[in-house]
Amino acid sequence: MNEKDLELLGLLQEECAEVIQIVSKIRRFGLDSYNPYEPEKGNNQTLFEHEVGDVFLIIDLLKERGLLHDDAINDRMIWKRVKLEEGGIIPKRKSMVEFLMEPGNNPFLEDDVWDWIERDRRLNNISCDIKEELQHPTTSDPDNRRKYLLRQAAAIYAELETLSESEKENED
């Protein structure tokens, strides 16, 4: 490992330690509190964002030098989110259709499309089943898994066919 890489890793250590320090302050005194000896530096909220920003920058620099890779990081983030959801630390994320079903979340949908989505929640159920299967496979056999996912994909296709046929009938 060359000098530059080692230097960046050292900076990452330092900046992570600074995040730990400010998080400790926030847990003890809250986000609005500030150091009475250095009020010009801002409150804990500001310092928190500064230190997290410092860490993000070092992470970007490590990526630029090829020491970190977005794909691997993103995969891990997805995995970790699921673990936190399972542990009840964070609420389970809504599917895209569930999200769009909520008032105010569908500004780009015309009313008739909105009705169309509302009429048929089966698509949503199928996509939830697929998501569940991807996150918690019921079988470790890749062949069985593939068959299951293909069946679900076929079910979605069938639903879309039925709906487009009924739309065509409406047009006629």
Which is closer to Mg ion, CB of 54 or CB of 129? 54
Residue 16 CB, nearest distance to Mg ion (Å)?
10
Which is closer to Mg ion, CB of 48 or CB of 51? 51
Separation CA 85–CA 83 (nearest Å): 5
Residue pointed to by tokens 């679900």? 152
Separation CA 98–CA 96 (nearest Å): 6
Structure tokens at 17: 């330690």
Which is closer to Mg ion, CB of 54 or CB of 133? 54
> Which chain residues interact with Mg ion by CB under 5 A?
15, 18, 51, 54
Residue 67 CB, nearest distance to Mg ion (Å)?
19
| Cα angle 98-101-103, degrees, rounded to a multiple of 5 | 130
Residue 73 CB, nearest distance to Mg ion (Å)?
21
Backbone phi, psi, residue 66, to 5°: 80, 15
Residue 55 CB, nearest distance to Mg ion (Å)?
8
Which is closer to Mg ion, CB of 48 or CB of 126? 48
